[in-house]
Amino acid sequence: MTARRICTFTADGVRLGFEIEHVLEIVRADVDTPVPLAPTGVVGLLNLRGRIVTVVDARTRLDLRPGDAGSTHVVVRNADEAVSFLVDREGDILDVDAPLLVELPATAGDTLRSLATSAYLVDGETVVVLDPSLTLSVAST
Amino acid sequence: MNDQDDEIVREFLEESRENLDQLDRDLVALESRSTDPELLAQVFRTFHTIKGTCGFLGYRHLEGITHAGENLLSALRDGSLHLDAASTTSLLRLVDAVRSVLATVEATGTDGDDDHAALIADLERHLHPEATVADEPAAAPAVESAAKVAPAEATVRIDVAVLDKLLDLVGELVVTRAQIGALDDEEEDTPLSAPYRRLRLLTDELSDGVMAARLQPIATITGKLGRVVRDLAADLGKRVRVEIEGTDLGVDKTVNEALRDPLLHLVRNAVDHGIELPDTRVQAGKPAEGLVRIRAHRAAGRIHLELSDDGRGIDTDRLVARAIATGVLSDADAAALSPQEARQLVFRAGLSTKDGVTKVSGRGVGMDVVQAALHQIGGSIAIDSAPGQGTVTRISVPLTLAVVPTLVVRCAGVRYVLPQLDVVEILRLEDDGSGAPVALRDRCLPLVHLADVLRLPAAQGRSGRSVAVVRAHGGRIGVILDAVEDTAETIVKPLPAALRPIAAYAGVTILGDGQPALVLDAAGVAASADVAVDASPLRDSDDAPAPPALLVVRDAAGRGLAIPLAAVRRIEQVPAGVVDRTSGVAAVPHLGGALPLFDLSGVGSGEVAQVVVCDSSIGPVGLLVHRVEDLVASVGLDDLTTRTIDVEDLVAAGPGVPS
């Protein structure tokens, strides 16, 4: 297995990441517009330079503990459109390699497990890499 | 094959398709103007371009048939052969053959196994009487055509997605401009003022430019109709001439596409049902050849299309009889119909005057479908007909679907956008909306609160006092809102994937201040509301005369008043202190005399105000207002929170009008 670059961030203290080729950009902004009737996880719409993107809240989506709404948007390409993943804080870009692969921590919930592709142990901390299309394709309720 | 080759082939396919469409149009036109050297040269050049590229890409079969076509055309061009119906048909068959080979190229990457020997023989057959002109002339025109083709390099192909992206960015620029504008002090010049004014001009021009780049000549649709008429007439044994005017008119791509099917249907109707067989026409004293004319022009921000034929016209007696037979009309109703009303019956589902079903126009699916398709894009259709003399169908559609007139409404503190097309009128509720139906002009109007439809928590309040009466499911329903804030020209974008299943939304948009907003879908809102719509037929259909345009003004307290525009002569700025309130009558100097004034402004005499000068039965009168705000022309705004003023009522009631 070759090295991968992971764009990391945190939500509810959990270190998470997407492979960098899926990430378009990271912006700080408040969510502009709430969307009533939206599927669970969708918290609103954001105007990204004239492009309207759906904002998916990481804590809700991953079944983590609710907290103060973050304002860091990890904007990811998902099936021809840009979707924002709203997280607590952005992290570093990490180069990871097969020797660092670990099992998902035992504390990880079912939802997190079902959306993760792999996990790496970096500097004593586990980074869970998420599948962008599973994570951001929120089914309508 | 590598990527670069792929790219070349794709460009060739796209360009050739456009060229073939052009050939369809030109060949049909050529039939009636067969000696027009310009047109002939153009047809020749088009074939030559296709042939040249085929040779370059190694499509031998395709090159073979285009070569045969080119030979025939070159004989036509130098006058040694005259274009007639037979050779036109051969050339059109050639166009079809090239089109099908292109499809093969696209699917398989090769130009197939068919060498089209029969077609080539057919093309050469026209040449045989003058066998001498077979191959020779091809060389000389090649040089000339190369020189003439050169200007085409001035155009560049652009992906529509790129234009859409540009449009998004222009929208953002407009928002940013407004933010800078808010920093600029209006009263005095700052270092920012001059560059800001320039920015304003540039953004406007840029915005117009990008919108214009999205336009496509209407000929991409109307041009195809000539070919349709010709083929159809030939099938039916009729003789029909087509005249198409206004082909270079620019129309938004989306509108163009939405027009395609309705126009096709109308043209087929005209040839199939309208134009008579040659013998019948001659007996009726008309020329054997029928005429179908399509005219397009642009006026008042809309595209107007007129499609006329000189055929037999609409048989209203038969329509009425059919309507009675199918139970659409009672005998009594039928007797009361005016001829114009009777003609409108063609828009009722299932009524067709043609007794036999033809393969061309098919069954009952007819004008009602056309009308519905046009209404969907904010268009209208009207039909006029004189028995024995023909039918005229007039269509009007907006220039673009990208920009939609909307109302910005508020519900639970969030703004939503409602397309004006869906709104019949706006009402103001006297008590708080309890959800009970209200009586509107003697009819019961079901009401639903938008906050309930959107399942917003009750804690967010139900302060709704405004009701948007919207069209839905063939009836209407009142949607209670907190407020109607504004009107806006909105660019509606498709919903993000996650929101697409939600029926209440039709799209998303960005408001003037840069905030995204959801565009409500009236039918979806009504469907989620789970109340029966008032299904009695709408009297205010699109064919009714447009409501009078109104001038909206405000008094000092911000209350709105609407003055019918028909009565308004002009608007004047009145400096402070000019209003003369002596003798209890407010008046301003006017053409040497005094203009009777009705004070609707609520401002003190020392303040600046505006005077709307109106015509009345006692001559010009002035309505003193705090400020003139807007012109509203569109649906239903006349019933808004704004009170409409009748100038005559004022004059009749007004105190102390000087004689």
Q: Which of the four pLDDT bands, split at 50, 70 and 90, describes residue B181? A: confident
Residue with tokens 């099992």: A103
Q: If you measure CA to CA, which chain A residue comes closest to B501?
A: A140
pLDDT at A1 over 60: no
pLDDT at B182 over 50: yes
Mean pLDDT for all residues in chain B: 75
Cβ contact (<8 Å) for B498 and A37? no
Q: Which residue has the higher pLDDT, B42 or B550?
A: B42
Shortest CA gap A122–chain B (Å) = 34
Paired tokens of B2: 């590598």
Packing angle of the helix pair B85-108, B3-32 (nearest 10 deg): 170
Shortest CA gap A109–chain B (Å) = 24
CA distance A77 to B482: 37
ipTM: 0.91
**Low-confidence winner among B60-64, B347-351, B647-651 (lowest mean pLDDT):** B347-351
Paired tokens of B59: 């499509």
pLDDT at B368 over 70: yes
Cβ contact (<8 Å) for A50 and B493? no
Interface test with B, best of A24, A32, A35 (most B CBs within 10 A): A35
Stated as kind and residue range, the H or E segment containing B472 is: strand B466-472
Paired tokens of B621: 């009168």
pLDDT at B111 over 70: yes
Q: Which of the four pLDDT bands, split at 50, 70 and 90, describes residue B309? A: very high
pLDDT at A9 over 80: yes
Q: Which of the four pLDDT bands, split at 50, 70 and 90, describes residue A88? A: very high
Q: If you measure CA to CA, which chain A residue comes closest to B491?
A: A50
Residue with tokens 């003399």: B389
Give pLDDT, residue B523: 84
What average pLDDT score do residues B570-592 get?
59
The Cβ of residue B408 has, within 10 Å, a number of other Cβ atoms equal to 19
Q: Which of the four pLDDT bands, split at 50, 70 and 90, describes residue B580? A: low
Residue B598 and residue B650 in contact, taking contact as beta carbons nearer than 8 Å: yes
Closest residue by Cα to residue B255 from B292, B305, B202: B305
Q: Which of the four pLDDT bands, split at 50, 70 and 90, describes residue B402? A: low
Q: Which of the four pLDDT bands, split at 50, 70 and 90, describes residue A128? A: very high
Q: Which of the four pLDDT bands, split at 50, 70 and 90, describes residue B3? A: low
What average pLDDT score do residues B304-314 get?
90
Give pLDDT, residue A8: 95
Closest residue by Cα to residue B398 from B259, B214, B506: B259
Pairing, β B587-590 against β B290-299: unpaired
Q: b or e along B357-390 (b: 16 or more beta carbons within 10 Å of the residue's beta carbon)?
A: eeeebeeeebbeebbebbeebbbbbbbbbeeeeb
Q: Which of the four pLDDT bands, split at 50, 70 and 90, describes residue A3? A: confident
Cβ contact (<8 Å) for A38 and B499? yes
What average pLDDT score do residues A70-87 get?
91
Residues of A whose CB is below 8 A from B510: 47, 50, 52
| Residues 517-576 of chain B whose Cβ lies under 8 A from any Cβ of chain A | 517-518
A42 touches chain B (CB under 8 A): yes
Q: Which of the four pLDDT bands, split at 50, 70 and 90, describes residue B147? A: very low
Q: Which of the four pLDDT bands, split at 50, 70 and 90, describes residue B591? A: low
In this prediction, what percent of chain B has a pLDDT beyond 70? 75
What average pLDDT score do residues A74-87 get?
91
Q: Which of the four pLDDT bands, split at 50, 70 and 90, describes residue B150? A: very low
Q: Which of the four pLDDT bands, split at 50, 70 and 90, describes residue A20? A: very high
The Cβ of residue B203 has, within 10 Å, a number of other Cβ atoms equal to 16
Q: If you measure CA to CA, which chain B residue comes closest to A41?
A: B498
- B499, B505, B514 ranked by CB distance to A47: nearest: B514
Q: Which of the four pLDDT bands, split at 50, 70 and 90, describes residue B355? A: very low
